[in-house]
Amino acid sequence: MSSIIAPNGSPLNTAIIGVDDLEQSIKFYRDLIGLTVSDTFDWSGKDFENIWHLPSGSYAFGSFCELKGCNVGRVFLLDFKAKNKELIRPKNTSRAYGLFNLNFYTDDIESDTKKFEDKGYQIWSKPTYYEMSEGQGSPTEVIFDGPDNVAINLVELTDDDPTSKVGQMKIYTQQHGRTPTGLTPVVTSAHTTRNIDLAVEFHRKVLQNDLLIDEILSSEEQNDFLQLPNDAKTAVKFMQGNHMFGKIALSQPINYDCHDMVPDGIAPNIGYIAQAFEVKDLRISENAITKLNCEIYKQRQLVDFPGLGHIEIIIVRSPGSGALQLIFQQINPEKSD
């Protein structure tokens, strides 16, 4: 298997999701995806209000979902107790700027697709096999609308060539990171941008990630399962940190229009609010953030963050899209209760 291309990089540590019904979301990630789920907790106070730009007295109930022993590809569910919460991704929206989906690997996509369909989740299309260019590999994928209208992407790595990118990932995932239901933590998460090059630069300089896959998606099969126009062309660049999981699939529509989720991609709304990345030295990341002239959403601060512990954070809007990116450094390696 090929080595990790960015040994000092920061993969997706945690996807932060605002939920409509915490119990329903917990059941999905625990019972169907197979992640271990923490006890429900409440979160309030000045730090909470400042992080999420919420008024005094705000609070949320939450739960942390992870594969035990893996600090990558986790899901943080937050039920903000507020009136007039908006849905970040409107119903029946298949193309949108912002944080778009969560990907999980499966060894049996047909069976797993039926499992989710039988539970009432809306499948976009039948599982679709397609080939990527230049020996990058051939996955089979399907997308459906998960809880809180977050798009869920199941991927079967149907490529046994150990020299292809997909084949190498298949070898790795056969040895690491399976949940009791046969799935994985979040292996990839899609982030749709208006300017993919700016987002790539952010990943390289702030998170020290590097480019794993560089592709133009345009085939009939690809556009069908993505629910895009037949002639759609989409630039996709997969950014990888120091792990095979937690990749970010940056994309940019080339010849079609998108809804913009970014203005609604904030607390207390329902859907994919932010991506969290752990770095070894927040000062280095902050210097890069300054040089890139990123918009600061939350200034650097020490906080007690449920599931992540006593950490120092900074939240910025990603260049190229404006989606929220939470960068943190662990101060106390022991996780908080």
Digit-coded pLDDT (tens) for 314-325: 999 999 999 999
Class of domain 12-84+265-330: alpha beta
| Phi, psi angles (nearest 5°) of residue 116 | -70, -35
DSSP state of 242: S
- β-partners of residue 247 are 188
Q: Residue 136: is its pLDDT beyond 70?
A: no
Mean pLDDT of the chain: 93
171 vs 152, higher pLDDT: 152
Q: Please report which confidence band the pLDDT of residue 335 belongs to, taking 50, 70 and 90 as the band edges.
A: very low
Report the pLDDT value the prediction gives residue 337, as an integer from 0 to 100: 39
Residue limits of CATH 3.10.180.10 in the chain:
12-84+265-330, 96-260
Class of domain 96-260: alpha beta
Confidence of residue 236 (pLDDT cuts 50, 70, 90): very high
Whole-number pLDDT of residue 4: 81
Closest by Cα among 83, 93, 102, 94 to 17 = 102
pTM of the model: 0.94
pLDDT in tens, 48-106: 999 999 999 999 999 999 999 999 999 999 999 999 899 999 999 999 999 999 999 99
Model pLDDT, residue 1: 42
**Using an 8 Å Cβ cutoff, are 141 and 155 in contact?**
yes
- At residue 319, the pLDDT reads 98
More confidently predicted of 2 and 223 = 223
Helices (H), the chain: 22-27, 46-52, 109-118, 165-175, 196-206, 220-226, 282-291
Query: Per-residue confidence at 46, pLDDT binned at 50, 70, 90?
Result: very high
**Close Cβ partners of 194 (under 8 Å, ≥ 6 residues apart):** 97, 252, 320, 321
Q: Where are the alpha helices (DSSP H) in 64-219?
A: 109-118, 165-175, 196-206
Q: How far apart are CA 201 and CA 274, in angstroms?
A: 19
Angstrom distance (rounded) from CA 218 to CA 289: 33
Q: Single out the residue of 295, 14, 290, 318 nearest to residue 196, CA to CA.
A: 318
Give 163 or 18, the one with higher predicted confidence. 18
pLDDT in tens, 249-308: 999 999 999 999 999 999 999 999 999 999 999 999 999 999 999 999 999 999 999 999
